[in-house]
């Protein structure tokens, strides 16, 4: 496994990030523990979760599964760079109580203590804002974060689903206040089929020294060989992938993609991950394996070298928007 520094920090993280969103809803605790053990064995040290994972009445369940895994000992917690998120409502089902969500100082304080309890740890390495809070000023957010850093409860702060201008705003206010490092990472939707992040999000992240952590690297399975699986009688496309394939132009695009990779002898899902690892500013994509074989495939992708010819051909199929402002102006 290769490692890199997370943005402008000295923190070394693996080029693959283990996503845990499936732990609880789709992967039971025993299987989740086995996947985390296998990830460590493969050299993956960067684990990502969120307080709302588990969803619905099981919100927080995923963090609890990870916490129980840490409690097994044998250095598990010390080997992991742990990232979780705050924003979603964690109150009881039904009408939301005020101050049980978003990024007010009150909720940040409540949420971090609850996450630490579920995770059975005394600190979070990277505490991430899961979404922009349009109602809370960054002065208030950074004041709350400064306290948590001083208490040793969190070490670094990242964002998720932030537009480029909010990354700039957050870090400019952090710099003006002094005493805080500001955002060090951004999790964004980014893959071959969805490249809008290249316009402003990734340039902003690079300008301010944030590591980029793409989520949905296979675009909901669309880039994972979905047409080939249909032909072979395997699992059919569902959700976002099925909706996308309903468009004839998209289906033709994915067929060209799969035909190209078949010609080069490369598995589609592995190529999609390997492509992300070639992109400027990318720390590592989030992979959310449900099985040991899916994890093994992701590890193979991290070791895959795509030829210049193949990269150029992928750009022809999925050209992306191009840099801003030229993408939308002269």
18 is a domain residue: yes
pLDDT tens profile 2-24: 999 999 999 999 999 999 999 99
Number of domains the chain contains: 1
Helix or strand or coil: residue 247?
Answer: coil
First to last CA, the chain: 42
Q: Is the pLDDT of residue 239 over 90?
A: no
Overall pTM surpassing 0.85 (yes/no): yes
How large is the average pLDDT for residues 185-208? 98
Give the range of the structural domain holding residue 9, as residue numbers without chain letter. Answer: 3-221+272-305
How large is the average pLDDT for residues 301-322? 97
66 is a domain residue: yes
- Distances in Å between the alpha carbon of 5 and those of 12, 60, 170, 282? 4, 29, 21, 11
Helix or strand or coil: residue 32?
Answer: helix
The C-alpha atoms of residue 106 and residue 39 are separated, in whole angstroms, by 35
pLDDT value, residue 95:
64
pLDDT value, residue 232:
80
Kindly report the number of other CB atoms within 10 A of residue 233's CB atom.
7
Token readout for 138 is 């960054």
135-139, 227-231, 234-238 — which one is most confidently predicted on average?
135-139
Burial of 115 (0-12, 13-18, 19+ CB in 10 A): buried
Active site (catalytic) residues:
53
240 is a domain residue: no
Q: Is the pLDDT of residue 129 over 80?
A: yes
193 is a domain residue: yes
Q: Is the pLDDT of residue 192 over 90?
A: yes
How large is the average pLDDT for residues 119-135? 98
How large is the average pLDDT for residues 58-77? 98
CATH of the domain at 195: 3.20.20.100
Query: pLDDT band at residue 284, thresholds of 50, 70 and 90?
Result: very high
pLDDT value, residue 146:
97
pLDDT value, residue 213:
99
The C-alpha atoms of residue 89 and residue 104 are separated, in whole angstroms, by 12
165 is a domain residue: yes
Query: pLDDT band at residue 180, thresholds of 50, 70 and 90?
Result: confident
237 is a domain residue: no
pLDDT value, residue 93:
63
């Amino acid at each position: 496994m290769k490692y890199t520094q997370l943005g402008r920090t000295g923190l070394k993280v693996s080029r693959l990030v283990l996503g845990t969103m499936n732990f609880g809803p789709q992967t039971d605790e025993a299987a989740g523990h086995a996947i985390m053990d296998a990830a460590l064995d493969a050299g993956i040290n960067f684990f990502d979760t969120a307080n709302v994972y588990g969803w619905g009445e099981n919100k927080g369940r995923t963090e609890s599964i990870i916490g129980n895994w840490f409690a097994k000992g044998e250095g598990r917690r010390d080997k992991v760079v742990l990232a979780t998120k705050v924003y979603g409502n964690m109150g009881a089902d039904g009408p939301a109580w005020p101050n049980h969500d978003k990024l007010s100082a009150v909720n940040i304080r409540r949420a971090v203590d609850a996450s630490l309890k579920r995770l059975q740890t005394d600190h979070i390495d990277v505490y991430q804002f899961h979404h922009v809070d349009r109602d809370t000023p960054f002065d208030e957010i950074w004041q709350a974060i400064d306290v948590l850093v001083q208490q040793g409860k969190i070490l670094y702060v990242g964002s998720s689903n932030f537009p480029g201008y909010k990354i700039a705003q957050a870090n400019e206010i952090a710099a003006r206040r002094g005493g805080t490092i500001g955002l060090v990472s951004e999790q964004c939707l980014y893959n071959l089929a969805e490249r809008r992040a290249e316009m402003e999000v990734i340039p902003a992240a690079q300008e301010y020294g944030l590591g980029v952590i793409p989520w949905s690297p296979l675009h909901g399975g669309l880039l994972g060989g979905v047409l080939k699986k249909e032909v072979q009688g395997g699992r059919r496309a569902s959700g976002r992938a099925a909706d996308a394939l309903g468009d004839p132009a998209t289906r033709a695009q994915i067929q060209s993609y799969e035909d190209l990779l078949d010609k080069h002898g490369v598995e589609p899902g592995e190529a999609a991950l390997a492509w992300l690892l070639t992109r400027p500013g990318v720390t590592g994509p989030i992979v959310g394996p449900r099985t040991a074989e899916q994890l093994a495939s992701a590890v193979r992708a991290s070791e895959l070298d795509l030829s210049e010819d193949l990269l150029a051909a992928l750009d022809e199929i999925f050209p992306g928007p191009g840099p801003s402002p030229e993408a939308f102006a002269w």
